[in-house]
């Protein structure tokens, strides 16, 4: 009996907590129809809950889900960005689980450092990233062609690159010099498979970089910053 009572008390507290979190989930789904609420959990702040939406987006809500906060939650003492830590965890990718055969493989130097890039041939930021990638050394870059629906000719250009005799040369010519490859685009290609992969990984924009340790970097960044992160990903 002495063991049973504390155990029962713990179970009741857990049930009450779960019920409160379920209520937040239901209220948010009622306020925002169509939004997928993946999880609700407590934060270090009393009465404030962390809510994961659509796989990788983090927001915050009060206990009644009357108010929603979108932004970064930072621990002032430790300077830890708790929101970014959560997003990094949610978006972590097992690099070796990626279907690398669906990517254009670019090897520079010894190729020991590894990264993957989801890139759209008509994305202006992807084109700005390409010269930064060209500056990197001792890295293997896997380019997953990822034409966004808003760019109506991007899928054709992606297929032309893949179907060319030298996809690496064709991709670099397209991205660095705006030279669209000649030839046919009807060879077996991974473009549709890459789109399905990006949807599975919740990739919503380009460029989107995945480092060898699985950490993701959305958007444009510099060669120096990329090199530093590649070293960190390799444990240096």
Q: Is residue 9 part of a domain?
A: no
The burial of 93, by beta-carbon neighbours within 10 Å (0-12 exposed, 13-18 middle, 19 or more buried), is given as middle
Q: Is residue 6 part of a domain?
A: no
Q: Same structural domain for residues 172 and 225?
A: yes
Task: Give the pLDDT score at 6.
Answer: 46
Domain that holds residue 228: 95-233
Q: How many domains does the chain have?
A: 2
Q: Same structural domain for residues 152 and 205?
A: yes
Q: Same structural domain for residues 162 and 144?
A: yes
Task: Give the pLDDT score at 54.
Answer: 85
Q: Same structural domain for residues 155 and 103?
A: yes
User: Which helix (H) or strand (E) covers residue 58, if one does?
Assistant: strand 57-62
Q: Same structural domain for residues 72 and 49?
A: yes
Q: Same structural domain for residues 123 and 224?
A: yes
Q: Is residue 8 part of a domain?
A: no
Task: Give the pLDDT score at 18.
Answer: 53
CATH number at residue 58: 3.10.450.70
Q: Same structural domain for residues 83 and 126?
A: no
Q: Which of 87, 105, 134 is the last residue of a domain?
A: 87
Q: Is residue 7 part of a domain?
A: no
Is the peptide bond preceding residue 207 cis, with omega within 30 degrees of 0? yes
Task: Give the pLDDT score at 210.
Answer: 96
Q: Same structural domain for residues 132 and 48?
A: no
Question: Which residue has 């046919």 as its token pair?
Answer: 184
pLDDT along the chain (236 residues), means of 10: 44 46 88 90 93 90 91 94 90 92 97 97 97 97 97 97 97 97 96 96 93 93 96 78
Q: Same structural domain for residues 51 and 167?
A: no
Contact (CB, 8 A) for 197 and 99: yes
Q: Same structural domain for residues 118 and 211?
A: yes
As a whole number of Å, the CA-based R_g of the chain is 22
Q: Same structural domain for residues 69 and 124?
A: no
Task: Give the pLDDT score at 92.
Answer: 85
Contact (CB, 8 A) for 51 and 28: yes
Q: Which of 87, 104, 133 is the last residue of a domain?
A: 87
Q: Which of 70, 87, 104 is the last residue of a domain?
A: 87
CATH number at residue 211: 3.40.30.10
């Amino acid at each position: 009996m002495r063991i049973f009572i504390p155990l029962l008390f713990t179970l009741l507290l857990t049930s009450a907590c779960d019920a409160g979190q379920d209520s937040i989930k239901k209220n948010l789904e009622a306020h925002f129809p169509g939004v997928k609420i993946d999880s609700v959990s407590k934060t270090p702040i009393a009465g404030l809950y962390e809510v994961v939406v659509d796989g990788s987006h983090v927001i915050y809500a009060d206990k009644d889900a009357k108010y929603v906060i979108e932004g970064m939650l930072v621990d002032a003492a430790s300077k830890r960005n708790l929101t970014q830590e959560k997003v990094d965890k949610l978006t972590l990718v097992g690099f070796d689980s990626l279907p690398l055969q669906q990517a254009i493989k670019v090897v520079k130097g010894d190729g020991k450092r590894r990264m993957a890039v989801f890139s759209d041939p008509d994305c202006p930021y992807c084109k700005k990233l390409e010269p930064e990638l060209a500056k990197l050394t001792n890295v293997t870059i896997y380019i997953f062609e990822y034409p966004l629906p808003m760019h109506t000719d991007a899928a054709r250009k992606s297929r032309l690159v893949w179907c060319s005799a030298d996809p690496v040369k064709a991709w670099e010519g397209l991205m660095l010099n705006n030279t669209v490859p000649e030839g046919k685009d009807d060879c077996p290609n991974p473009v549709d498979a890459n789109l399905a992969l990006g949807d599975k990984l919740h990739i919503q924009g380009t460029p989107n970089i995945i480092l060898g340790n699985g950490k993701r970097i959305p958007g444009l960044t510099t060669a120096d910053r990329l090199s530093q992160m590649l070293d960190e990903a390799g444990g240096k």
